[in-house]
Chains A and B, each alone.
Chain A
Amino acid sequence: MSEKPENAPEHCPGTESEDAGKSSACQGCPNQNICSSAKPKGPDPDLAVIQERLSSVKHKILVLSGKGGVGKSTVTSMLARGLALDDNLQVGILDVDICGPSIPRVMGLEGEQVHQSGSGWSPVYVEDNLGVMSAGFLLSSPDDAIIWRGPKKNGLIKQFLRDVDWEDTNYLVIDTPPGTSDEHLSVVQYLQNAVIDGAVIVTTPQEVSLMDVRKEINFCKKVKLPIIGVIENMSGFICPSCKNESQIFPPTTGGAEKMAEDMKVPFLGKLPLDPRIGKCCDEGTSFFEEFPDSPAVTSYQQIIKGIRRYCNEDDHMDTS
């Protein structure tokens, strides 16, 4: 991508070009000295550091949406907790939602702070095999706001990827804010040398959500990020009194399953709207432990199986 400053001549090669400051068109340009004396742009050295740091993390999964409030953080925490039920797995959650970090509350870690060790930043551990890192741990009060423009957010994300010591981790689940902007570009860019297994895309059934999610899917395709699959969350509400189902968020255009089919991406499953899930998120407790017989638990377990299968974990799959 070449940037042409406003005062540049007509055939300016662009400030990022190798010919910057050196081409015949540069003669007489007020920026010529700056461009010609700039050091040649090499690859960002931090990319190699990040690659090295994350080489001990076997599988990296991004949880994306495009639409806000569909349950990315909920799904991230449930996937991570569900994976961590297998004692053989070491699981991590990285929360790169810098302005709205929900993960500390959802994981029952509000008020925790980040600790530095000789080997870097230590995640905060919920269980022995489940560690968490979030911008929320950098805030001293729940009212503190991170009011940062893009470049500063990118800096923190890079630091998270470079400096957090995950040790040997089987699954790192990365929670993101909604959208297709700085945070998403940065994560993909900084992880370009480390392998991301893929993205899990979360949506709710209605078209107002699907509209944004189609954009997110196209973003993934644009940056060549593999898509593990789409999850339809808040898919039907069962009244606790009469047990009839209501579609609070009606799938007026066919819901996520049809959208996934149209966009030729896998569909991982549906999750029902169970008020007890929200309550566990508010209280920071594990829905798997509190309500193991809920239909939502079965749905999550199926989805986790699908993800593990995608990540080629066949030797650890149980046959039930």
Chain B
Amino acid sequence: MSFVPGQPVTAVVERVEIQKLRQGENLILGFSIGGGIDQDPGQNPFSEDKSDKGIYVTRISPKGPADLAGLKIGDKIMQVNGWDMTMVTHDQARKKLTKKREDVVRLLVTRKSLEEAVKQSKGCYHKP
């Protein structure tokens, strides 16, 4: 999932639709994010490439909306409701996820296992 500057980023993504849950006066999604272009990418335990400054899912509240929607810990969020998440600061990412007017977020997430799955399914046509 590393990117080469100047080249478009391609990734195999999964669509995750999360319905926000109302708790009191807050709408929560039930997961935590880490990363951002203003953060130290070396401390990201989930990224394969330690220079990846993307937004990653660092924690999922069990039985929370994100968990139910199929978000997995370690996923990298590529888009939120159409907004790009690959080149944003941490706070920008948080804001895009916690808009009060929206009660559903549609994420595009990617993870290693997706890439592997696609490779495997394509692999039968290629010589190893």
Q: Do A and B come from one complex?
A: no
B residues within 8 Å of A by Cβ? none
